[in-house]
């Protein structure tokens, strides 16, 4: 009886661990320095594994979504809103001493305990961390206004260069000129949720202009539910079949 109870407990714990792991299957992109593994987490959060390093982008929604993944070697935070700057999730992760690349507005809101870990980038600035070149790309609403939900200069999108591949993470933005003028993007993560960023049509139009090789619609939950990412895929591929639109499970419970 005791053995059966122990086996049942072990099975239960194993099942709970599996359930807590990310729902979306990871993708792999080959680089000059080996594989880049892309793991969607939820909403605007993802994890990139490259050259033995793990990069967390906008850790959000609790530590359970990161179970089974390597602890972060680098963290990127795009904006001050709680679906990007999630102090609760940061507090649950093992991030002591881990560098955090952030805009000034995020730095101003982080507790004192993290101040020595920060690499603060303004739009247009660059830094190299863990062997990865990181450029801060503007992210903002159109038309520009002082009362916009995302004003120019406050937050950062990021352009990462690793192993000859260029990875663009849009953050909360519309189809701004800085996005449309990007060149030679291998992988892009593009937001599309009204009223915070842009609609599916605008996102498709912007993607067709800068032509990433692979694009992931992400951050597509808005006030009225989830955006129609199937329509996004159809619009993009109707005009450019060479763009690989990848639809992943970012919202497993919706």
Strand order in the sheet with 34-42: 27-31, 34-42, 45-50, 53-57, 74-76, 99-102, 118-120
pLDDT category of residue 20 using cuts at 50, 70 and 90: low
What torsion, rounded to 10 degrees, do the Cα atoms 54, 34, 159, 124 define? 100
Query: What pLDDT does residue 28 have?
Result: 98
Would you tell me how many other CB atoms lie within 10 Å of the CB of residue 97?
A: 7
Of 22, 28, 55, 58, the C-alpha closest to 41 is: 22
Q: State the DSSP code for 98.
A: -
Mean pLDDT for the stretch of residues 145-165: 96
Query: What pLDDT does residue 17 have?
Result: 37
Query: What pLDDT does residue 205 have?
Result: 98
Is there a contact between 139 and 171 (Cβ–Cβ < 8 Å)?
yes
pLDDT of 8 > 50? The answer is: no
pLDDT of 15 > 80? The answer is: no
pLDDT of 176 > 70? The answer is: yes
pTM for this structure? 0.91
Query: What pLDDT does residue 18 have?
Result: 36
Q: Is the dihedral of CA 38, 127, 78, 136 positive or negative?
A: negative
> pLDDT for 38-64, tens place per residue?
999 999 999 999 999 999 999 999 999
Residue with tokens 């990412």: 229
E-strand ranges in the chain read 27-31, 34-42, 45-50, 53-57, 74-76, 99-102, 118-120, 126-129, 132-139, 155-162, 165-169, 187-191, 214-218, 221-222, 225-226, 244-245
pLDDT of 10 > 90? The answer is: no
Query: DSSP 3-state assignment of 27?
Result: strand
Kindly state the percentage of the chain with pLDDT values over 70.
91
Kindly list the structural domains of the chain, giving each domain's residue range(s) and its CATH number in brackets, ordered by start.
23-245 (3.60.15.10)
> pLDDT for 54-104, tens place per residue?
999 999 999 999 999 999 999 999 999 999 999 999 999 999 999 999 999
Of 53, 57, 66, 133, the C-alpha closest to 94 is: 66
> pLDDT for 103-122, tens place per residue?
999 999 999 999 999 999 99
Query: What pLDDT does residue 253 have?
Result: 77
């Amino acid at each position: 009886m005791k053995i059966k109870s122990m086996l049942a407990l072990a099975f239960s714990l194993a099942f709970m661990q599996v359930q807590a792991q990310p729902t979306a299957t990871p993708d792999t992109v080959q680089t000059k320095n080996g594989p880049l593994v892309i793991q969607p987490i939820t909403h605007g959060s993802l994890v990139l594994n490259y050259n033995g390093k793990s990069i967390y982008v906008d850790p959000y929604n609790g530590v359970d979504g990161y179970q089974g993944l390597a602890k972060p070697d680098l963290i990127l935070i795009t904006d001050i809103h709680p679906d990007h700057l999630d102090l609760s999730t940061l507090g649950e992760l093992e991030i002591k001493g881990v560098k955090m690349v952030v805009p000034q507005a995020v730095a101003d809101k982080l507790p004192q305990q993290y101040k020595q870990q920060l690499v603060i980038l303004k739009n247009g600035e660059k830094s190299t961390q863990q062997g990865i070149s990181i450029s801060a790309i503007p992210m903002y609403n159109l038309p520009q206004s002082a009362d916009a939900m995302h004003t120019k200069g406050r937050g950062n999108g990021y352009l990462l260069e690793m192993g000859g591949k260029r990875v663009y993470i849009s953050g909360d933005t519309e189809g701004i000129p800085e996005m449309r003028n990007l060149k030679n993007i291998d992988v892009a993560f593009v937001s599309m949720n009204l009223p915070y960023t842009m609609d599916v049509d605008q996102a498709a139009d912007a993607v067709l202009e800068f032509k990433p090789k692979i694009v992931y619609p992400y951050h597509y939950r808005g006030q009225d539910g989830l955006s129609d990412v199937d329509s996004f895929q159809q619009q993009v591929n109707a005009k450019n079949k060479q763009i690989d639109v990848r639809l992943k499970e970012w919202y497993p419970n919706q």
